[in-house]
Structure 1
Amino acid sequence: MLDQGRTNMPMTNEFIKELQNVTTEKQIHEFLVYLISGLELDYFLLKVSFPISMIKSDFMIIDNYPQPVSQLYQIENILKTDPIVDYCSKNHSPIFWGKVAPSELKDINRGLFPVNQSGFAVPLHGPMASFGMLNLSTGADKPNCDHILSEALTVFQIVMPYIQDAIATVRSESYDHKMQLTCREIECLTWATEGKSAWEIAHILGCSERTVTFHLNNATAKLKCTNRYQAIAKAILTGVILPNS
């Protein structure tokens, strides 16, 4: 296990430098494997959702669980009913699994995990309504289990912002560049979110109504939407258009 001297800032800075070079999901996986091995943790599960509409989301799921466990966790969508997920959706501070009633976790896990685990979860709340969590665990019967988890939490609280930046980088690398709108298309769509008609937007921007309609139609097509209203919702959720600060 990393001793007290190795969990200091120089060690943490080493992890941060590694994260700043991450550009793929595979590299995030490799980094987390490397990090938990140094902290004597056994398993991790990173799940992040990226809304693309009000009812659909893309997901990034990275873990080192044995394959059958990983598949069941995804196929059965257990995370939707996990009390830890419910906590993370409403809070920003980490939570130790012991804070949740053992009976609730038992009902959720249903013997899927390979060991009697003890761990903690770190909520992730990112831009454009993205939400996720990082679960980290070790065998509950491991010597000094509580100390291992406490030391690990200290490190992860420092490096989590950099992990989120790495997730954002990977997401942007895989993002559909055809969805990128021109400045004029964004302007027209932004004014449309204010309830302005094409005629009103034309007067605001000093162009013809036909030009505004052209830009709005282009934006709708690029966002793979069927109408302007769907395009507005998708553009807001995906961060294509942002409110003025």
Structure 2
Amino acid sequence: MDLHANLAAVSIRCMGDVRIAAEALRDIALGCSGLHIVMTDNIASKAPMEDAEGNVLAADVYGWTGENEHWWKDSKLALSSPLPRACRYESEVFWANAEGFRTRQPNPYLDEMSLENFEKRALTKAAIVVPVHLPFGQIGAVCFVSRDPARADLSAEYDAFADEFALLSHRFVAGYVKAHRTRRWLPCDCQLTKREVECLRWASIGKTDKEISLILSRSHATVRFHIQNAGEKLNAVNRSQTIFKAAQLGYLGAAA
């Protein structure tokens, strides 16, 4: 596998590159492992990925044209399938079947996830999955699956190709999202102060201004000022949206 050449082949700089890059990723997966691709740039969106002419990649490039293979039309898939759900809790490439998730490092969140009726919910017996975590909280997912309905073990392919799949998938999806994005949802170069972030972190876990003032030994008015000032920087219309936008930009983090 010529990783440098393959990364160049799947890179997207504009919508005109999408079709060629998608075909390159398809051919790489088929050539090195005989696997087929199921992909979404955003597990929270119902919109399918398309090329510059509006053709759905899943059907036109990746060959999901069978009567029961139009998986992107199932609006509930991201909520019901354990594969995209797992991408909310894992950032490294993994593989899964009805017996469990296999990750590079232990992940207790996945260990506790239900795999009941795995094949019916995931639409496959097994898959290698690359979570693609992008700016502003967007999560994409690229799944590599076998067309053979009997294949339930992808451990060999995972050991051999998972790292390359991860790099290529991230390059493709990140490029697609940048080329496809036409609207700015967040202000550019927003810089919050230490105090603003501190107040918002407490507010994000449900603390009131009064409670935050006691925790930080600051006046009620000072806490309110910091939160309101952060909201103005983030172009937020209220406290909830201020917290949401700050979280999307990575200011609030998550508990370890």
Q: Same fold (TM over 0.5)?
A: yes
Q: CA deviation at 1:45?
A: 0.8
Distance 2:6 2:153 in 1: 20
For normalisation by structure 1, the TM-score amounts to 0.58
| Shift, 1:135, TM fit | 1.7
Q: What is aligned with 1:131?
A: 139
* Counterpart-to-counterpart distance in 1, 2:174 and 2:68: 26
Match of 2:74 in 1: 75
1:147-197 CA distance string (max 9 Å, x none) = 9973476234224134214323332341523633355xx336x74332289
Shift of 1:18: 1.5
The residue aligned with 1:172 is 178
In terms of fraction of residues, the more strand-rich structure is 1
Aligned residue pairs total 204
2:10 touches 2:168 (CA, 8 Å); kept in 1? yes
The one-letter amino acid paired with 2:65 is P
**Are residue 219 (structure 1) and residue 230 (structure 2) matched?**
no
Pick from 31, 38, 62 the counterpart of residue 45 of structure 1.
38
Instruction: Kindly report which structure 2 residues correspond to 1:17-166, keeping only aligned pairs within 5 A, or say none.
Output: 17-21=8-12, 23-24=14-15, 25-39=18-32, 41=34, 43-49=36-42, 57-58=44-45, 61-62=48-49, 63=58, 64=62, 65-66=64-65, 69=68, 71-91=70-90, 92-97=92-97, 99=99, 104-108=117-121, 119-124=126-131, 126-127=133-134, 128-140=136-148, 150-151=156-157, 154-166=160-172
Q: Is the 8 A contact 1:83 1:105 kept in 2?
A: yes
- Which structure is higher in helix share? 1
Identity of aligned residues (%): 9
**Shift in Å, 1:72:** 4.7
Counterpart CA distance in 2 for 1:90 and 1:216 is 28
Q: 1:34 to 1:23 in 2, by over 3 A?
A: farther
Secondary structure in structure 2 of the residue aligned to 1:187 = coil
**1:49 CA drift (Å):** 3.3
Separation (CA, whole Å) in 1 of partners of 2:10 and 2:189: 31
Q: Go from structure 1 to structure 2 and tell me whether the alpha carbon gap of 1:12 and 1:147 turns closer, same or farther (over 3 Å shift).
A: farther
Partner in structure 2 of residue 193 of structure 1: 197
Query: How many Å separate the matches in 2 of 1:182 and 1:85?
Result: 30
Larger radius of gyration: 1
Q: In the alignment, which residue of structure 2 is the partner of 1:234?
A: 245
RMSD value, Cα: 4.5
- Indicate how the Cα distance of structure 1 residues 18 and 191 shifts in structure 2: closer, same or farther if over 3 A, else same: farther
Give distance in 1, aligned partners of 2:158 and 2:186: 39
The farther-off stretch of 62-71 and 74-83 is 62-71
Unpaired runs of at least 5, structure 1:
1-6, 51-56, 202-208
Q: Which residue of 1 aligns with 2:204?
A: none
Contact kept? 1:120, 1:136, Cα under 8 Å: yes
SS at match of 1:139: coil
Q: Matches of 2:154 and 2:93 in 1, distance apart?
A: 19
Q: What secondary structure, in the 3-state scheme, does the structure 1 residue paired with 2:199 have?
A: coil
Unaligned runs of 5+ in 2: 50-57, 101-113, 201-208, 210-219
CA–CA separation in structure 2 for the residues paired with 1:178 and 1:93: 28
